[in-house]
Chains A and B, each alone.
Chain A
Amino acid sequence: MRNAILSLRHAPFALFCLALFLLIVVAALLAPWIAPQNPYDNAVVDFFDSNLPPGSPAGMGGMTYWLGTDALGRDLWSAILYGLRITLTVAATASMLALVIGVLAGLVSAYAGGWVDAVIMRLVDILLGFPTILVALTIMALAGAGTGNLILALVVAQWPYYARTARSAALVEIGQDYIEAARCLELPHWRIILRHLLPNSISPIMVVLTLQLAHAVAIEASLSFLGLGTSIERPSLGLLIANGSREILSGHTWALIYPGLALAALIFTVNVFGDRIRRALNPQEA
């Protein structure tokens, strides 16, 4: 893993993407302090300023809408920063939960073998037989829109990827002498799994994490776009784009383009970085 990160030195573009990604995360975290407007505060948002093009001054004075406003008169730049927060919160929470559940299931599956392995892996195979977006969409169709359901849908759709990776990484380790030694010492099972198997299976799991994080952002945006995601009052980037797309025929392109650029930049930077680590860990694939 350390070698993989060190190899980034020779990949300036991947480093640039990592920096850009961190910048986006920091901007999202600091949104309440750096955004010129709180887009959820109806006392600040001026409805008469709806659909203003980028660079327009606010009707009440005091600020300039550098990226324009949306159909509700919200400053688009502020809405994007706040939307990034929601997008990142949902994607990061879901990815971490999926990682914990998936990795545990995978490690237990590899360690226990037998029917436990068979049951878990059959379930994983069934879920992996369908595209992630379809699994998530099915859950949203049944459970209804909302942030909590969105996270649930992403976790159900993504844990099998972690489980499969953790299991195959652990299977390699289980054949090793140190695991045999730990078993002979009669260490508790949970200790062997968490202290011996987990640390040695971590690199491939980190690759899956980066790629699935990008995927989670994309799926969240797509579901929100379909109206099956976050709530209207606090739109994520996907919903901002959906709202922007209603203005498409009237030529108001900014509400569609800028949130999309933010979303694309987020997904692209994570993907480039993840792809680089993956290639560094599997040299024959480079």
Chain B
Amino acid sequence: MAAYLVRRLGQAVFVLLLVSFLVFMGVYAIGDPVQMLVPPDATAAEVERARVALGLDRPILVQYWLYLRGLFQGDLGTSFVYNQPTIDLVLQRLPATVELGLAAFVMSLIIGLPLGLIAGYRAGSVADDGIVNGSIFAYSLPNFWQGLLLILLFAVQLRWFPSGGRGETGTFLGIETSLVTASGWSHIFLPALNLALFNAAMVIRLTRAQVQAAMNSEYVRYARAKGVPEGRILMRHAFRNVLIPLVTVLGLELGNLLAYGIITETVFNWPGMGQLLINSINVVDRPVIVGYLLIVVAMFVVINLLVDITYTLLDPRIRLGGKPA
């Protein structure tokens, strides 16, 4: 286990270094950031002064080295636009993104698990067909268009929910969150639903496949022969089978929440990390783009690591360090 952990951690560090290098170099392809930051009527001398002040006159490898050295001290650079450390900017927006992801996560399970159970239990029935095709349909609707339709229906036409923003936040255990105010709940409902539908489709398909397999298995037939009530067979025998693969999918789902959250945050004007990224891309705020991408990559590396470890703990058949199944 220890050797496996060390190897996975080494791999993770390698991925982070590689991504930081590629991203840092790649940002130079966007254009000269100095030109974006000085007033359009600045003289050549003023442009040069700004370049030196921002450290952009040094050779690119030196800039990268300085950046890397900063990274190990938790310094991700300073935003050109906000004139604030990148890490602060991203961390300020982390709670909004996490609470949206959390709400969407819970919602996707509430929608996905029961529907998947029904479809898997009654495989081949009309209900099953409806649920499967419905989930392909939900999966096919582009996330951002789905969000816009939600706004159109529930915010513009029916006026049940606000069309965007985060609403009032309250403090709970020292964390600013909108999950403790009524206004916060009404603001988070639509974006969370938007983010959840995509993942709900995934949960439905997985649950259905697992339950269906379990219903055809020897041990369910044995339980039936023993006269165990159907409801108990479904919950105690079939549903339990869903839990192990669900862990992997939940890992995937967390990843999707981070990635598709960028789109949902843009659609609903939700002040999270994803919106920060899109705004920074539009104004070529290089340190924030690089910092954001690195933080997200780090989060992914950690999530994937945790999923792998949980998986091996849940299912001893998966041999540590062996080829992935």
Q: Which A residues fall within an 8 A CB radius of B? A: 13, 125-126, 129-131, 133-134, 137-139, 141-144, 214, 218, 221-222, 225-228, 238, 241, 245, 248-249, 251, 253, 256-257, 260, 263-264, 267-268, 271-272, 275, 285
* Residue B266 lies at the interface, judged by CB distance under 8 Å to chain A: yes
Ordered nearest first, which 7 A-B pairs have the shortest CB separation? Answer: A142-B26, A268-B140, A131-B259, A134-B259, A260-B145, A267-B140, A225-B144
Tell me whether B27 and A142 are in contact (CB under 8 A): yes
A12 to B152, CA, bound (A): 33
Within the complex, the shortest CB–CB distance from B269 to chain A, in Å, comes to 12
Q: Which B residues fall within an 8 A CB radius of A? A: 15, 18, 23, 26-27, 29-31, 133, 136-137, 139-145, 148-149, 151-152, 156, 163, 209, 252, 255-256, 258-260, 262-263, 266-267, 277-278, 281-282, 289, 293, 296-297, 300-301, 304, 324
> Residue on B with the closest CB to A126?
B15
Within the complex, the shortest CB–CB distance from A79 to chain B, in Å, comes to 16
Give chain A residues whose Cβ lies under 8 Å from the Cβ of B262: 134, 137, 226
Q: A222-B263, A260-B148 are in contact. List 16 more A-B contacts (CB 8 A).
A: A126-B15, A131-B255, A131-B258, A131-B259, A142-B29, A143-B30, A218-B140, A226-B144, A227-B282, A238-B142, A248-B163, A249-B163, A251-B156, A256-B152, A264-B141, A264-B142
A260 to B147, CA, bound (A): 11
Give chain B residues whose Cβ lies under 8 Å from the Cβ of A267: 140-142
Of B256, B259, B277, most A-chain CB atoms within 10 Å: B259
Partner of B148, one of A226, A228, A248, A272: A248
Tell me whether B277 and A268 are in contact (CB under 8 A): no
Partner of B136, one of A138, A221, A225, A268: A268
Name 26 A/B residue pairs within 8 A (Cβ), A-sorted.
Answer: A129-B15, A129-B304, A130-B297, A130-B300, A131-B258, A131-B260, A134-B259, A141-B289, A141-B293, A142-B26, A142-B27, A142-B29, A142-B30, A144-B29, A218-B142, A226-B144, A238-B144, A241-B148, A248-B148, A257-B149, A263-B145, A264-B140, A268-B137, A268-B141, A271-B140, A272-B136
A50 to B309, CA, bound (A): 57
> Residue on B with the closest CB to A140?
B281
Within the complex, the shortest CB–CB distance from B85 to chain A, in Å, comes to 20
Tell me whether A248 and B26 are in contact (CB under 8 A): no
A218 to B259, CA, bound (A): 14
Tell me whether B263 and A226 are in contact (CB under 8 A): yes
Give chain A residues whose Cβ lies under 8 Å from the Cβ of B148: 241, 245, 248, 256, 260
- A142-B27, A226-B278, A272-B133 known; A248 and B140 CB under 8 Å? no
Tell me whether A253 and B15 are in contact (CB under 8 A): no
Within the complex, the shortest CB–CB distance from A227 to chain B, in Å, comes to 7
Give chain A residues whose Cβ lies under 8 Å from the Cβ of B281: 141, 228
A271 to B267, CA, bound (A): 25
Give chain B residues whose Cβ lies under 8 Å from the Cβ of A214: 140
Tell me whether B260 and A133 are in contact (CB under 8 A): yes
Partner of A138, one of B23, B31, B301: B23
Tell me whether A134 and B296 are in contact (CB under 8 A): yes
A7 to B137, CA, bound (A): 22
A123 to B41, CA, bound (A): 46
A227 to B275, CA, bound (A): 13
- A130-B300, A226-B266 known; A260 and B142 CB under 8 Å? yes
A222 to B145, CA, bound (A): 9
A260 to B29, CA, bound (A): 32
A272 to B256, CA, bound (A): 22
Give chain A residues whose Cβ lies under 8 Å from the Cβ of B29: 142-144
Give chain A residues whose Cβ lies under 8 Å from the Cβ of B263: 133, 222, 225-226
Give chain A residues whose Cβ lies under 8 Å from the Cβ of B151: 248
Tell me whether B140 and A131 are in contact (CB under 8 A): no
Give chain A residues whose Cβ lies under 8 Å from the Cβ of B300: 129-130
A225 to B266, CA, bound (A): 10
Tell me whether A248 and B152 are in contact (CB under 8 A): yes
> Residue on B with the closest CB to A224?
B144
> Residue on B with the closest CB to A131?
B259
A248 to B137, CA, bound (A): 23
Tell me whether A263 and B27 are in contact (CB under 8 A): no
Tell me whether A13 and B259 are in contact (CB under 8 A): no
Give chain B residues whose Cβ lies under 8 Å from the Cβ of A227: 278, 282
Tell me whether A13 and B133 are in contact (CB under 8 A): yes
Tell me whether B163 and A275 are in contact (CB under 8 A): no
Tell me whether B255 and A130 are in contact (CB under 8 A): yes
Tell me whether A222 and B163 are in contact (CB under 8 A): no
Within the complex, the shortest CB–CB distance from A239 to chain B, in Å, comes to 11
Within the complex, the shortest CB–CB distance from B143 to chain A, in Å, comes to 7
Within the complex, the shortest CB–CB distance from A65 to chain B, in Å, comes to 21
Give chain A residues whose Cβ lies under 8 Å from the Cβ of B136: 268, 271-272, 275
A214 to B139, CA, bound (A): 10
Tell me whether B142 and A249 are in contact (CB under 8 A): no
A225 to B147, CA, bound (A): 12
Give chain A residues whose Cβ lies under 8 Å from the Cβ of B152: 248, 253, 256-257
Give chain A residues whose Cβ lies under 8 Å from the Cβ of B259: 130-131, 133-134, 137
Give chain B residues whose Cβ lies under 8 Å from the Cβ of A238: 142, 144
Within the complex, the shortest CB–CB distance from A109 to chain B, in Å, comes to 13
Partner of B139, one of A133, A221, A260, A271: A271
Within the complex, the shortest CB–CB distance from B36 to chain A, in Å, comes to 13
Within the complex, the shortest CB–CB distance from B264 to chain A, in Å, comes to 11
Within the complex, the shortest CB–CB distance from B11 to chain A, in Å, comes to 8
Give chain A residues whose Cβ lies under 8 Å from the Cβ of B293: 138, 141
A267 to B151, CA, bound (A): 22
